[in-house]
Amino acid sequence: MAALRVLMNKLKLPVIETTTQLRRIPDESIDFLGYSIGRCYSPRTGRAYIGTRPSRKAVQRVCREVSDLTRRRWLLLDAQDRVARINRLLLGWSNYFRLGPVSKAYGSVDRHTRRRLRQWLRAKHKVQGEGTARFPDEYLYQELGLIQLRERTRSFPWATA
């Protein structure tokens, strides 16, 4: 803490003692600006390294925003409009959170988005059941144009290296 105070004094920044936490990386992780910084594992080799990934709160927040965009109050609007709004949200979120291992986070956001959009479409068209027969993945992705975050990881520049 003393070394931190010296560094922050040189930068002329205040240290707020009540909110400042000391963490031992990699044993503990820290959440900062929506990222969790800590131990990650390489999917290819299984080796541990210190890296970033979207924090749990960030994933929950974007899922909550998708839920807000697919509430029943929007049933009178066109499905293309709803998908366009969801796509803008997902593109912005995925552009910010593209560093580190993002596949698990992208997968959970994709699953939540598909489920909520199907639920909204079922309510809009008064369809009972799960909605997977009437609104399969192909309909959501190809006809409505919903983006799939897991597919975006293939276009990352380091993914082809």
The model's pLDDT over 48-100, given as tens digits with 9 standing for 90+, comes to 999 999 999 999 999 999 999 999 999 999 999 999 999 999 999 999 998 88
* Average pLDDT rounded to a whole number, residues 30-43: 90
pLDDT of residue 1: 82
pLDDT of residue 155: 61
18 confidence band (pLDDT: 50, 70, 90): confident
In the chain, count H helices and then E strands. 6, 3
Q: What is the pTM of this model?
A: 0.83
Asked if residue 25 lies in contact with residue 37, where contact means CB atoms within 8 angstroms, the answer is yes
Q: What distance in Å separates the CA atoms of residue 121 and residue 115, rounded to the nearest whole number?
A: 10
Beta strands in the chain (DSSP E): 30-32, 35-41, 48-54
